[in-house]
Amino acid sequence: MAVYTEVSDEALVAYLAEYDLGSLVAFRGIAEGVENSNFSLRTTTGDFILTLYERRVDPVELPWFLGLMEHLAERGISCPLPVKARDGAALRQLCGRHAAITTFLPGIWPRRVRPEHCAPLGTALAALHEAGADYAPTRPNALGPSSWAPLLARCLPDADAIWPGLGTELERAHARILATWPNSLPIGHIHADLFPDNVFFLDGRLSGLIDFYFAATDILAYDIAVCINAWCFEPDISLNVTRARALLAAYGATRPLLAAERSALPALCQGAALRFALTRVFDWINTPAGAMVTRKDPMPYIRRLRFHLTAQNEHAYGL
């Protein structure tokens, strides 16, 4: 989450006039993240999130994202529910951007991940995958393997300014990962960005999943790999096997993994690490000056990638 587009009081009041949400009480930007402009919105009827869509989000795909969230919420997944205006539309225009309001989920994300966070995460991820199985529309993963080569090409001219030799290291890793990428694993709708700041806990229980704007139709086990990268490493980039084992066991209790999914885990983790390394390198280089946004250092993901490239099999992750 971030703020790239400022919204005036007058524009917001006019926008809210299309909804049955009462009067504006409070409104502020949310600085975390790197993608869309997000605001915390309070009206006389409750708390909401207002999102203005920017950068990588294709406006043509926005109905798919909003439809997926509505579908998941209807099936018991605790995720933001798009709020429809009086004309029945959830997607509108504000300050020259496509925009939508979603419900607010209570809770806080874990600043310090512990093993007891990882089991509920695994259960929720498996439930999300099962709940999405009957959502008929599909969306290719815009940041899947086919995107990595062009993204890498855009990063190479400046990559070595971040770390000497980084460009060559990324090129070699990319070639190795594509050579071993699995192509016959179960496919479904994935979140694809389930970092700790997208998972809320309240009173010791997982209370919600947010930020579905990277969701796609792709390898289900790739979503697990994203979570291992995001949740299971210590600050020194050593893998916390206890966390990984808790995540995998809880996931498997709801949706058992096939043998092929288990054996592909190192390759999937390599790909997930490369994907986030590349986008963080790109954002580090290209985030505009003055944007109300927190840039993310790509090097922790480079170091994760190095670990995954040494993993011999699924046993490295506690299986």
Higher pLDDT, 224 or 54: 224
16's enclosing H/E stretch is helix 9-16
CATH number of 115-317: 3.90.1200.10
- Average pLDDT for the chain: 94
Q: Does the pLDDT at position 133 exceed 70? A: yes
58 compared with 228, residue with greater pLDDT: 228
Is residue 300's pLDDT more than 60?
yes
Q: How far apart are CA 105 and CA 121, in angstroms?
A: 16
HSE-up of residue 91 (Cα within 13 Å, Cβ side): 13
Q: Where are the domains of the chain?
A: 9-103, 115-317
CB 233 within 8 A of CB 269: no
Residue 231 pLDDT > 80, yes or no? yes
Average pLDDT over residues 74-87: 97
8 Å CB contact between 178 and 145:
yes
What's residue 58's pLDDT?
Answer: 82
Residue 1: per-residue pLDDT: 45
Rg (CA), the chain: 20
Of 59 and 101, the structure prediction assigns the larger pLDDT to 101
> Is residue 32 over pLDDT 90?
no
- C-alpha to C-alpha distance for 267 and 270, rounded to whole angstroms: 5
- When mean pLDDT is compared across 39-53, 89-103, 120-134, 276-290, the lowest value belongs to 276-290
244: left (phi over 0), alpha (psi -120 to 50) or beta: alpha
Write the pLDDT tens digit of every residue in 151-171.
999 999 999 999 999 999 999
Dist CA 80 CA 34 (whole Å): 19
What pLDDT score was predicted for residue 34?
56
Top CATH class of 9-103 equals alpha beta
Instruction: Name the pTM for this structure.
Output: 0.92
pLDDT at 86 over 90: yes
